[in-house]
């Protein structure tokens, strides 16, 4: 990380705030100019910016090592996702489902042969995550904002798991990405005009899955219970519509709020599980 702030924690908070503010700014700019289609690029751009702020580099191509591969999975995934969204929107669903398989095979290549089943499991779980986030629910801007919100919560919830999985860089990366996402999405909270399309699904969500693959398959220090609890982030929001109906909430902001809170509850629980598992060795 670049060196400002009196402590690493302060520097991280400063970057987090900067990412959120830039997210708000970029999102407002794109929205004002009625470039709704381009909003699809905002979340992957936030992930690439967070990557650059974390590692201070654009890795050389072809990438060597999982950390460097992640950058190109995000960048190339974004470009392909956006292009397919423009050219053949129906193919995006298939592409989004293929990405976690490709990411698991690419990141987990050194484990093939010795732990192929772990790579296969990572691919299946990645597909399930993509399916739950991207393929569920209706189309339209409001649901796309909700999808973005769930991805942001997933990043936020995965950050402490990454930290305990011996990846302080992935921790920073996930936190900054989540900050950027919340900045981008808050602009669309009341009057949604956001697109969570091919670029967001393949570049941003797929990139986040690739980061998780790195911690789980390469560093191999993932807290599986915390990960299982975090997976509930994808399940609880299913009930958000029912909760909103019960509470009589109909405005987009309130519905989004309920949706994100339901996703955030398991993320908080995952953090608690990780914290309890590691106890005094939790690096705070």
Q: Which is nearer to another protein, 181 or 215 (CB)?
A: 215
Q: Is 6 in the site for another protein (CB under 8 A)?
A: no
Shortest reach from residue 22's CB to another protein, in Å: 21
Identified binder of another protein from the candidate list 21, 135, 190, 220, rule CB under 8 A: 220
- What is the SS3 assignment for 91-118? HHHHHHHHHHHHHHHHHCHHHCCCCHHH
Nearer to another protein (CB atom), residue 34 or residue 281: 281
Identified binder of another protein from the candidate list 6, 56, 246, 250, rule CB under 8 A:
56
Q: Which is nearer to another protein, 8 or 140 (CB)?
A: 8
Among 66, 84, 122, 181, which residue sits at the site for another protein (rule: CB under 8 A)?
66
CA distance 135 to 147: 10
Per-residue exposure over 259-276, b if at least 16 CB sit within 10 Å of its own CB, e if not: bbebbbbbbebbbebbee
Residues 97, 171: Cα–Cα separation, whole Å: 25
User: Rule CB under 8 A: is residue 94 a binding residue for another protein?
Assistant: no
Asked if 110 interacts with another protein (CB under 8 A), we say yes
CB distance 277 to 164 below 8 Å: yes
Region 166-185 residues binding another protein, contact defined as CB under 8 A: 166-170
Q: How far apart are CA 132 and CA 127, in angstroms?
A: 9
The Cα 158–Cα 222 span in angstroms is 10
For residues 4 and 87, give the distance between their C-alpha atoms in angstroms, rounded to a whole number: 44
Contact region for another protein (CB under 8 A) — 57-65, 178-186, 223-231, 268-276?
Answer: 57-65
Selected binder of another protein within 191, 221, 242, 245 (CB under 8 A):
221
Please identify, using beta-carbon distances, which residue of 47 and 96 lies nearer to another protein. Answer: 47
Q: Which of 157, 155, 200 is nearest to 174 (CA)?
A: 155
Binding region for another protein (CB under 8 A) = 1-3, 8, 11, 55-57, 59, 64-68, 110-111, 165-170, 214-215, 217-221, 281
């Amino acid at each position: 990380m670049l060196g400002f702030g009196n402590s690493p924690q302060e520097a991280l908070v400063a970057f987090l705030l900067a990412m959120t503010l830039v997210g708000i700014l970029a999102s407002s700019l794109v929205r004002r100019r009625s470039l709704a289609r381009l909003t699809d690029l905002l979340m992957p751009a936030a992930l690439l910016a967070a990557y650059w702020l974390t590692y201070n580099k654009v890795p050389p191509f072809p990438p060597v090592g999982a950390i460097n591969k992640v950058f190109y999975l995000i960048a190339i995934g974004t470009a392909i996702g956006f292009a397919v969204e423009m050219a053949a929107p129906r193919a995006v669903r298939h592409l989004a489902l293929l990405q976690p398989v490709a990411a698991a095979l690419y990141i987990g290549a050194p484990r093939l042969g010795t732990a192929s089943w772990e790579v296969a499991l990572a691919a299946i779980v990645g597909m399930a995550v993509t399916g739950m986030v991207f393929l569920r629910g209706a189309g339209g801007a409001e649901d796309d904002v909700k999808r973005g919100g769930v991805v942001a919560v997933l990043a936020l919830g995965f950050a402490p798991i990454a930290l305990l999985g011996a990846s302080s860089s992935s921790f920073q990366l996930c936190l900054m990405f989540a900050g950027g996402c919340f900045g981008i999405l808050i602009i669309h909270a009341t009057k949604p005009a956001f697109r969570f399309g091919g670029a967001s699904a393949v570049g941003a969500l797929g990139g986040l899955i690739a980061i998780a693959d790195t911690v789980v398959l390469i560093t191999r220090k993932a807290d599986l219970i915390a990960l299982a609890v975090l997976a509930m982030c994808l399940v609880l929001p299913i009930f958000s519509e029912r909760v909103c109906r019960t509470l009589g909430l109909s405005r987009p902001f309130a519905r989004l709020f309920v949706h994100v809170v339901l996703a955030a509850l398991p993320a908080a629980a995952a953090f608690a599980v990780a914290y309890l598992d590691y106890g005094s060795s939790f690096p705070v």
